[in-house]
Amino acid sequence: MPHQGEILQEAIKNSGISITRIVEELGITRPTIYRKFKDDTLDANFVKNIGQIIGHDFSHDFTIAEQSSLPFVTPVVRSSVTNHVTQRVTPAQTPDSDPSKQLLALQTKYIALLEAYNELLLKVYGPK
């Protein structure tokens, strides 16, 4: 089963939109996006931004387990029928209580933040 980076790469490839255009619109470098293609899990905002650029809804591409951690996926709304119809919204799942998964998620966010910071420094001060 492909991981999130591979799913992202395949969607970009199928869209016909060039990597150059995507990295320019995101304000990142080509090496950064190629590193993202190797990641098992990706930042939801990053995925959402690419989806907007290529016109693709990634909420249908990830498994249920992966979708529960992505904020751009809306919770399932179910209705319960008795004498009258009432809607019941299932609460969003809480983040995994597994410390290693929490650490991995934080590490991924930290790396994304560092990459964004480095990109900003390059824009402001230019290369050395």
The two three-digit tokens of residue 10, written as one number: 């395949």
Sequence letter at residue 3: H
Residues ≥6 apart with Cβ < 8 Å to 49: 26
Model confidence pLDDT, tens digit, residues 30-51: 999 999 989 888 888 888 899 9
How wide is the angle at C-alpha 65 spanned by C-alphas 61 and 71, nearest 5°? Answer: 75
Supply the DSSP symbol for 27. Answer: T
Place of tokens 């996926």: 73
Model confidence pLDDT, tens digit, residues 19-30: 999 999 999 999
Model confidence pLDDT, tens digit, residues 48-65: 899 999 998 887 776 544
pLDDT > 80? residue 125: yes
Domain boundaries, the chain: 4-125
State how far the Cα of 58 lies from the Cα of 68, in Å rounded to an integer: 13
Predicted TM-score (pTM) of this structure: 0.48
